[in-house]
Amino acid sequence: MIPPGATIGVLGGGQLGRMLAMAAARLGYRVHVFEPEMGCPAGRVSAREINAAYTDREALREFARGVDVVTYEFENIPLAALETVAEFVPVRPRGPALHICQNREREKNFLRANGIPCAPFWVVDSAASLAVALEELGGAGVLKTADFGYDGKGQMRVNASDDAAEIWQRFGGHRAVLEGWVDFTHELSVVCARGLDGETSVFPVVENRHTNHILDFSIVPARVPAAAQAEARAMAQTIAGALDVVGLITTEFFLTRDGRVLVNELAPRPHNSGHFTLDACVSSQFEQQVRAVCGLPLGSTDLLRPVVMVNLLGDLWRNGAPEWPALLADAAVKLHLYGKGEARPGRKMGHFCVLSEFPADALARAEAIKQRLSGDGEKMNDHGPALSE
């Protein structure tokens, strides 16, 4: 066990690292952040910020010497950086889990090898192999880069009748995974914590709504059958064990029209869709990450009240800062801003949560607030949107 008073190192300085640092401070830990860019959101609430490239081995060694354990807040960190740090202190989740989850080809092969249901897929590395895969696909699909894809980046909708050579050229010739199109009714996610002793604890299943491939609304409890929720939670725990994760692992799912639960993606870290836990659960996903990587007992994941989380993207700043006083006039709203200096379209600047005794009411109020912030409805009055059951 790494007790309170110790120092946690975090690779990555974005908003997930920021919220992790704040949770760690409440438990009595210090946090050091390693981040290539100066003035990062996590660095502003941490005891120390080291700015260097993930390929700078000496800077990584200096960082590792000053902490007791290391975790990370996003996947796109070179495995070599984790291996350098691991020469000095434990890294949790371990490097092999990150290596699998940061590449779609390895991730899909892991799922297939462990009998975990996912969309049919083909690995392609040329126009010729894409042509074969399209023929076997026989219908609609999505071509995804094997590396470095998120928020819909590096993806292209395709069809079996398309010209493989033209698609491959437009796609840039990157090694890729072709996935069969999934006819789904809901997108779901589950954040699972796993401790040093192998104990697992899962948060409630989240129903996610995306706009332009970026998460827009997260609704908890998810409006799907109890059997589908139980299957998703069990699958998340199986994945955590198979990857030997110590820390967090988030699993994204599709619920198909015929009732199947299929894994879409994995992320060995806190997740945007888990932000609701800050306001609506006994323990947040970030507190769970601290507890897990430090060997403490895991906290309760019980949901206190129904909640809807809404992302705030930089697009909302197009005419200046949104009207925070009007939003906060609603006592059921919890606002979280990430301390980012520049608002850009599509950039995640913060989020808000609406809690209510009635799930439908929480969603209606969240939608109304988002519409008014976006300028698509009437200006918010001093009391926020009207309450209704």
In a domain, 341, yes or no: yes
pLDDT along the chain (389 residues), means of 10: 97 98 98 96 97 98 98 94 98 96 96 97 95 93 82 80 92 91 97 97 98 95 98 98 98 97 97 98 98 98 98 93 88 95 93 97 95 65 30
Query: Do residues 153 and 261 both lie within one domain?
Result: no
Query: Do residues 348 and 224 both lie within one domain?
Result: yes
How far is 203 from 300, CA to CA, in rounded Å? 9
Query: Do residues 267 and 321 both lie within one domain?
Result: yes
Residues 6 or more apart in contact with residue 197 via CB below 8 angstroms: none
Boundary of a domain, candidates 180, 195, 210: 180
Boundary of a domain, candidates 91, 110, 137: 91
> CATH number for the domain including 34?
3.40.50.20
Query: Do residues 296 and 283 both lie within one domain?
Result: yes
In a domain, 310, yes or no: yes
In a domain, 309, yes or no: yes
How far is 265 from 334, CA to CA, in rounded Å? 28
Query: Do residues 125 and 224 both lie within one domain?
Result: no
Query: Do residues 202 and 171 both lie within one domain?
Result: no
Query: Do residues 266 and 323 both lie within one domain?
Result: yes
Which ranges of the chain would DSSP assign to H, the alpha helix?
15-26, 57-65, 79-85, 95-101, 104-113, 127-137, 164-171, 226-242, 277-280, 285-293, 324-328, 359-373
| Bridge partners, 193 (sequence order) | 201, 248
Residue 388: per-residue pLDDT: 27
Query: Do residues 157 and 190 both lie within one domain?
Result: no
Residues 6 or more apart in contact with residue 109 via CB below 8 angstroms: none
Residue 262: per-residue pLDDT: 98
In a domain, 221, yes or no: yes
> CATH number for the domain including 125?
3.30.1490.20
Is residue 88 within 8 Å of residue 69, measured between CB atoms? Answer: no
Query: Do residues 82 and 67 both lie within one domain?
Result: yes
In a domain, 2, yes or no: no
Q: Which residue type is seen at 318? A: R
> CATH number for the domain including 270?
3.30.470.20
In a domain, 109, yes or no: no
In a domain, 233, yes or no: yes
How far is 347 from 366, CA to CA, in rounded Å? 20
Query: Do residues 196 and 171 both lie within one domain?
Result: no
| Tokens coding 323 | 């009207």
In a domain, 384, yes or no: no
Residue 386: per-residue pLDDT: 29
Boundary of a domain, candidates 76, 91, 106: 91
| Tokens coding 319 | 């005419």
Q: How many domains does the chain have?
A: 3
Closest C-alpha among 264, 234, 268, 262 to residue 250:
268
Residue 245: per-residue pLDDT: 98
Query: Do residues 50 and 173 both lie within one domain?
Result: no
Range of the domain at 171: 120-180
Query: Do residues 264 and 354 both lie within one domain?
Result: yes
